[in-house]
Structure 1
Amino acid sequence: MGVSHIEHIGIAVNSLEEAIPYYEKVLGLKCYAIEEVADQKVKTAFFKVGDTKIELLESTDPQGPIGKFIEKKGQGIHHLAFAVDNVNEALTQASENGIQLIDQTARKGAEGLNIGFLHPKSTLGVLTEFCSEK
């Protein structure tokens, strides 16, 4: 599978406009990108902490995955993303090890990365994402 590091930690927020100042003013981080991922019904903001990123996720549709997450659980950590060599290979390996997949194959995510999610029912309750550049 080739996990190299934690690519990012996804955090669901009600509003990027309200959340970004906390990360910039209190934690001293710099928001380096804001991007909308229309097919995931989300707007994202990124911060770098060493080799790891923090991805804030604001829903653009209450019926989207982040909107539903916030409605059910409130703001907070949504997922943990691992950098892998190849998302499709990582998904195949996870499936072969009995892990339930949300994505059967890679799809495009923020920052142009290929992404794929594992279902939290088979990952000890943690929504897990694989990310790769290919």
Structure 2
Amino acid sequence: MEERRGFATAIDHVGIAVPDLDAAIAFHREHFGLEVAHEEVNEEQGVREAMLRAPGDDGTGAAVQLLAPLTPESTIAKFIGRSGPGLQQLAYRVSDVDAASAELRARGLRLLYDVPKRGTANSRVNFVHPKDAGGVLVELVEPAAEH
């Protein structure tokens, strides 16, 4: 049996950059039946965001995260300006973002932050540089204890 080298416990969410959060929520609600499970403003990340889930999801399934810029200088605004609205990231759930970050650095990957930052609902997050992950921005998410 091959030794398990990974530490991701689940796909946590996919992030979609949108210019208008309310319009995007309405679109996903109307066309796909998704429900808002959580909404917040994250000043540090420069976004207004919402986590959407399928009806009846108890919070253990993968979510769709909609990210709208708070300012024209935010990372999400720059992403939209460069690439247009659309898929911005893939997030893996981990039990210990510090350990996951250290292991990935030891494997030669670059992470965006020296220490994790606060993410959605007080989670702790870090990101693998897209140039080291096949062009995909990969987020590592350690959910807050209350989630």
Q: TM-score, normalised by structure 2?
A: 0.87
Unpaired segments of 5 or more residues in structure 2? 1-5
Q: Tell me which residue corresponds to 1:19.
A: 24
Deviates more, 1:102-111 or 1:123-132: 102-111
Rg larger in structure: 2
1:6 aligned to 2:11?
yes
Asked whether 1:103 is paired with 2:113, we answer yes
| Residue 33 of structure 1: aligned partner | 38
Deviations 1:15-59 (A, max 9, x none): 011111111011011112210000111000111145001100000
- The residue aligned with 1:74 is 84
Match runs of 1:116-131 below 5 Å: 116-131=126-141
Indicate the RMSD between aligned Cα atoms, in angstroms: 1.2
Aligned to 1:55: 65
Report the 3-state secondary structure (helix = DSSP H, G, I; strand = E; otherwise coil) of the residue aligned with 1:4: strand
For normalisation by structure 1, the TM-score amounts to 0.95
The percent identity for this pair of structures is 30
Q: Using the alignment, how far apart are the partners of 2:88 and 2:129 within structure 1?
A: 12
Counterpart residue type for residue 21 of structure 2 = L
Q: Distance in 2 between matches of 1:12 and 1:46?
A: 12
Structure 1: segments with no counterpart, 5+ residues = none
Number of residue pairs matched by the alignment? 134
Q: Following the alignment from structure 1 to structure 2, what is the Cα–Cα distance between the partners of residues 128 and 116?
A: 9
Q: Secondary structure at the match of 1:100?
A: coil
C-alpha deviations, 1:101-127, integer Å up to 9, x for none?
Answer: 101221111111000011001111000
The runs of at least 4 consecutive aligned structure 1 residues that moved more than 6 Å come to: none
| Contact 1:86/1:133, CA 8 A, preserved across alignment | no
Give how far 1:2 is off: 2.0
